[in-house]
């Protein structure tokens, strides 16, 4: 028997998701069919909802605002000259939860194990540099490298620090509250808050 076309199409798309292979994608398709129409409708709605999510053109954080900027970039009460570079949105959310950081962010994207910047990351740095040049002072007061304290994070942090040195008064890293090899995303609020306060 041939796989029905709609199932094949679904499986082809879902197999592209991180952590899902072709076999699992096929299983998900079959599962959804067996769950019945109510479930497939709900699945459709959930996927359609993602279309309203936009990526901030300044920091690459996700948002649902009318404009092109996320809430943080659009908020004039945030300190403009302080920028934290985080790997992913979940790190940004963890830092926001501590309430200890009042600057803005750059969501840098997954770090390559080889310790090199992707072309997308290079573009993001250029965009940040352009943005910094337009500040009244023409320089950021502080750039906080809030990348995970592991060997890859350390290498990427040095590369980024080197790139951004001409654009910042000072470049700091999160304080050593987070254990080496640990992840910002999973640090408890108090530890991360402490690491933010003690950045150096």
- C-alpha angle 113-14-16 in degrees, rounded to nearest 5: 30
- Going residue by residue from 108 to 127, which x/- string records binding to Zn ion, judged by CB under 5 A? --------------------
* Footprint on residues 35-74 left by Zn ion (CB under 5 A): 56, 58-59, 61, 70, 73
Residue 87 and residue 157: Cα distance in Å, rounded? 11
Closest to Zn ion by CB, 61 vs 148, is 61
Closest to Zn ion by CB, 58 vs 148, is 58
- Please give the full DSSP string across 83-114, using - where no structure is assigned: EEEESSHHHHHHHHHHT---SEEEE--PPPTT
Closest to Zn ion by CB, 92 vs 196, is 92
Q: Does 86 bind Zn ion (CB under 5 A)?
A: no
- C-alpha to C-alpha distances, 180 to 18, 63, 173, 175, nearest whole angstrom: 26, 31, 13, 11
Q: How many residues bind Zn ion (CB under 5 A)?
A: 6
Q: Does 82 bind Zn ion (CB under 5 A)?
A: no
Closest to Zn ion by CB, 103 vs 153, is 103
- C-alpha angle 64-60-191 in degrees, rounded to nearest 5: 100
| Residues binding Zn ion (CB under 5 A) | 56, 58-59, 61, 70, 73
């Amino acid at each position: 028997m041939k796989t029905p076309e709609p199932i094949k199409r679904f499986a082809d798309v879902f197999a592209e998701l991180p952590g899902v292979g072709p076999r699992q994608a096929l299983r998900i398709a079959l599962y959804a069919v067996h769950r019945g129409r109510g479930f497939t409708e709900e699945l459709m709605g959930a996927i359609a909802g993602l279309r309203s999510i936009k990526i901030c053109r300044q920091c690459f954080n996700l948002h649902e605002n009318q404009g092109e900027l996320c809430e943080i970039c659009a908020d004039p009460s945030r300190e403009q000259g302080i920028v934290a570079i985080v790997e992913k949105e979940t790190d940004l959310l963890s830092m926001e939860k501590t309430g200890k950081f009042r600057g803005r962010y750059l969501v840098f994207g997954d770090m390559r194990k080889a310790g090199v910047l992707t072309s997308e990351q290079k573009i993001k740095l250029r965009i940040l540099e352009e943005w910094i040049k337009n500040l009244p002072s023409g320089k950021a007061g502080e750039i906080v490298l809030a990348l995970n304290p592991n060997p890859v994070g350390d290498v990427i942090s040095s590369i980024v620090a080197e790139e951004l040195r001409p654009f910042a008064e000072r470049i700091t890293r999160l304080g050593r509250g987070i254990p080496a090899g640990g992840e910002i995303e999973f640090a408890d609020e108090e530890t991360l808050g402490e690491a933010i306060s003690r950045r150096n």
